[in-house]
Structure 1
Amino acid sequence: MRRLLRSKIALALFLMLLVLTFGIVGYKSLSDFTWIEAIYMTIITVTTVGFSEVRPLDPSAKIFTVFLIVTSVFIFGFALSVITEYLLERNSLKVLKKKKVKKRIDNLSDHIVVCGYGRNGMQAAERLKEYKRPFVIIEKDKEVIEHHEEEVLFVEGDANEDDVLIKAGIEKARYLITALPDDAENLFIVLSARQLNKKLFIISRASQVTTQSKLELAGADKVIMPDKIGGDHMASLVVMPDLITFMDKLSMEGEHTTNLEEVEIEDFTQLVDCKSIRDLDLRRQTGCTIIGYIEPNGNYIINPEADLELQPKGKVIVLGRPEQIRKLNEMFQIG
């Protein structure tokens, strides 16, 4: 539809240019006007403004003028209707698109709200897409939204405002990631989000070390400092390069990289009667290796023993190649 309207607009502009050229050349040849006079006569004729002629017209010039007026009225009328239709259609599409986005957001639950679509926000969104986790981006830059609106769900506005957070479904969300470059803005977002949803798990970015404790006091569950992480990573590459390179390869993306997976014990117990890690027997069935266990109280156990008793709310951290992780997911219908 939009392509058809654009072709109509191109045709209308071509016809308008054609009638102007026709008028200028006609007056120049029929009445021996100068180019300036021909342009002037053409403009006042096709626009029907009613100004007087440059000089008296002979019968042939008058007939030409009548023909030019009739032709220009139809062509300019056609152009006006096409442009009006295009503007109305464009506005209608925007309204329909906003309604569609709003409906999709209203149907979400246990999703992730990401505040800011800058460098960190975009990286978070890319990773969430890889995991096929539903999320909504809050962004106030219209140009950014228009450039990426086909890829993700956007809510336009300032994330500091409660109404904008509510539009993003903060009351039904499970996680909030606030990745704005300004620590003060992140602090206000954390405060607002915590008031709107007490059960929300909040992850906030911080630039200053002094802000970390304030964000945690405001309600952030985790505070991430990208600059500190980047510096630590670079220094570690100097101290123990092979180990860090190996850790980098424990990536969760790509077809040829090793993967880590977090799995809840309940996903296993629905299909397998297991009381310990030994009972799961994941190494033989899938090739995956359990390298960690998270107790229901949040305590982490690295390299747990095979006879470790599993608890219903616990989780296991599994290491495996992509095909092994896929086999695990298919066998136990995880994810």
Structure 2
Amino acid sequence: MVKLFRSKIYFALVLMLLVLLFGVLGYRFISDYSWIDAFYMTIITVTTVGFSEVRPMGPEGKIFTVLLIITSVFIVGFAISVITEYILSRNSLQLLKKKRVKNTIEKLSDHVVVCGFGRNGMQAAERLKAYKTPFVVIERDKELIEKYDNEILFVEGDANDDEVLLEAGIKRAKFLLTALPDDATNLFVVLSARQLNEKLFVISRASLVNSQKKLVLAGANKVIMPDKIGGDHMASLVVMPDLITFMDKLSMEGGDTTNLEEVAIEDFADQVDCNSLRDLDLRRKTGCTIIGYIAPDGEYIINPEADLKLQPKSKVIVLGRPEQIKRLNEMFHIA
């Protein structure tokens, strides 16, 4: 739609330039005006300002002026209508788009709210999109929103504003990622979000070490320090490069390439007798290997024994090739 209006505007501009050229050439050769006088006469005629002519014209000049006035009136009128229609339609399209986004967000629940679409926020959004996890991004940079608004649900505004958080569906959300560059701003967002939704799982970015404890006290469940993680990763590549490279190969880009899966015991309970890890027998059925167990109280057990008793609301961490993970999901109907 926008492209169609733009082509009409270009067409109207071309017509107006042709009218000006037609007028200048006509006065120059019909009435024998100089180029400056011809341009002056064309402008006052097309714009109908009513000034007198440079000098008296003959019959040919008067007839030409009448034709120029009639032609320019229609073309200028056409140009004005096209530009007006474009402006009104653009505003209407923006309103419709915002309304559509608002309706989509209102239908979401258990989604992720991402505050900030900078370097970290953009990476988080790409990963969430790869896993087909519904999310909403709060961002105040209009240019950034216009660049990605066809791919991502945006709420324009300041994440510190409670109204903006509510518009992003914070009360129905399950997770909040605060990826703003300033620690103080992240702290205020965490405080506001925690007041609006006590059950929210909050993950915050931090730049300074002393901000970590403050963010936890404010209500953040996890605090991530990208600079620290990056430094540790580079140092680890020096100390144990092969191990870190292998860990990097455990790709978690999306559903079709992942090598790791987190599965709740309830996903198995209705289909197999799962009193212990041995009962699941995932290695034989799917080729996947259980490398971790998460107890209901949050305790992590690495490389658990096969006879480990499974408890309700616990989880297992499964390792496998992408096709094995896919087989696991299909066999046990894991979403």
TM range, normalised to the smaller chain? Answer: over 0.9
Kept in 1, the 8 Å contact 2:112–2:175? The answer is yes
SS, match of residue 173 in structure 1: coil
Kept in 2, the 8 Å contact 1:249–1:258? The answer is no
For residues 279-319 of structure 1, what are the alpha-carbon distances to aligned partners after superposition, in whole Å with 9 as ceiling and x for unaligned? 11100010000000000110101111111111120000000
RMSD: 1.2
Q: Residues of 2 paired with 1:80 and 1:90: CA distance?
A: 15
Counterpart position of 2:219? 219
For residues 99-121 of structure 1, what are the alpha-carbon distances to aligned partners after superposition, in whole Å with 9 as ceiling and x for unaligned? 00000000000000000000000
Kept in 1, the 8 Å contact 2:131–2:255? The answer is no
Counterpart position of 2:61? 61
Instruction: Give the deviation of 1:6 after TM superposition.
Output: 2.2
Q: Residues of 1 paired with 2:114 and 2:4: CA distance?
A: 37
Residue 193 in structure 1 maps to residue 193 in structure 2: yes
Counterpart position of 1:284? 284
Q: Residues of 1 paired with 2:152 and 2:294: CA distance?
A: 32
Q: Residues of 2 paired with 1:52 and 1:287: CA distance?
A: 93
For residues 73-120 of structure 1, what are the alpha-carbon distances to aligned partners after superposition, in whole Å with 9 as ceiling and x for unaligned? 001101111111111111111000000000000000000000000000
Structure 1 residues 257 and 82, CA gap change in structure 2 (3 angstroms): closer
- Letter in structure 2 aligned against 1:284: R
Give runs of aligned pairs for residues 3-42 of structure 1, distance below 5 A.
Answer: 3-42=3-42
Kept in 2, the 8 Å contact 1:207–1:227? The answer is yes
Q: Residues of 1 paired with 2:17 and 2:161: CA distance?
A: 50
For residues 13-40 of structure 1, what are the alpha-carbon distances to aligned partners after superposition, in whole Å with 9 as ceiling and x for unaligned? 1111111100000000011111111111
Q: Residues of 1 paired with 2:68 and 2:266: CA distance?
A: 81
Say which is worse superposed, 181-190 or 264-273, in terms of deviation.
264-273
Give runs of aligned pairs for residues 1-335 of structure 1, distance below 5 A.
Answer: 1-253=1-253, 259-335=259-335
Length, aligned pairs only: 335
Instruction: Give the deviation of 1:58 after TM superposition.
Output: 1.2
Structure 1 residues 88 and 255, CA gap change in structure 2 (3 angstroms): closer
Say which is worse superposed, 82-91 or 105-114, in terms of deviation.
82-91
Instruction: Give the deviation of 1:59 after TM superposition.
Output: 1.2
For residues 187-223 of structure 1, what are the alpha-carbon distances to aligned partners after superposition, in whole Å with 9 as ceiling and x for unaligned? 0000000000000000000000010000000000000
Say which is worse superposed, 270-279 or 291-300, in terms of deviation.
270-279
Instruction: Give the deviation of 1:254 after TM superposition.
Output: 6.9
Instruction: Give the deviation of 1:272 after TM superposition.
Output: 1.6
Instruction: Give the deviation of 1:258 after TM superposition.
Output: 6.2
Instruction: Give the deviation of 1:127 after TM superposition.
Output: 0.5
Instruction: Give the deviation of 1:257 after TM superposition.
Output: 6.1
Q: Residues of 2 paired with 1:123 and 1:258: CA distance?
A: 17
SS, match of residue 298 in structure 1: coil
TM-score (normalizing by structure 2): 0.98
- Letter in structure 1 aligned against 2:54: V
**Superposed structure 1 runs of 4+ greater than 4 Å apart:** 254-258
Q: Which runs of 5+ in 1 are unaligned?
A: none
Structure 1 residues 317 and 239, CA gap change in structure 2 (3 angstroms): same
- Letter in structure 2 aligned against 1:166: L
Instruction: Give the deviation of 1:2 after TM superposition.
Output: 2.9
- Letter in structure 1 aligned against 2:116: G
Q: Residues of 1 paired with 2:203 and 2:255: CA distance?
A: 28
Counting aligned pairs with the same residue, the percent is 76
For residues 161-207 of structure 1, what are the alpha-carbon distances to aligned partners after superposition, in whole Å with 9 as ceiling and x for unaligned? 10100000001000000001100100000000000000000000000
Instruction: Give the deviation of 1:7 after TM superposition.
Output: 2.2
Q: Which runs of 5+ in 2 are unaligned?
A: none
Q: Residues of 2 paired with 1:172 and 1:282: CA distance?
A: 35
Kept in 1, the 8 Å contact 2:261–2:319? The answer is yes
SS, match of residue 11 in structure 1: helix
Kept in 2, the 8 Å contact 1:259–1:325? The answer is yes
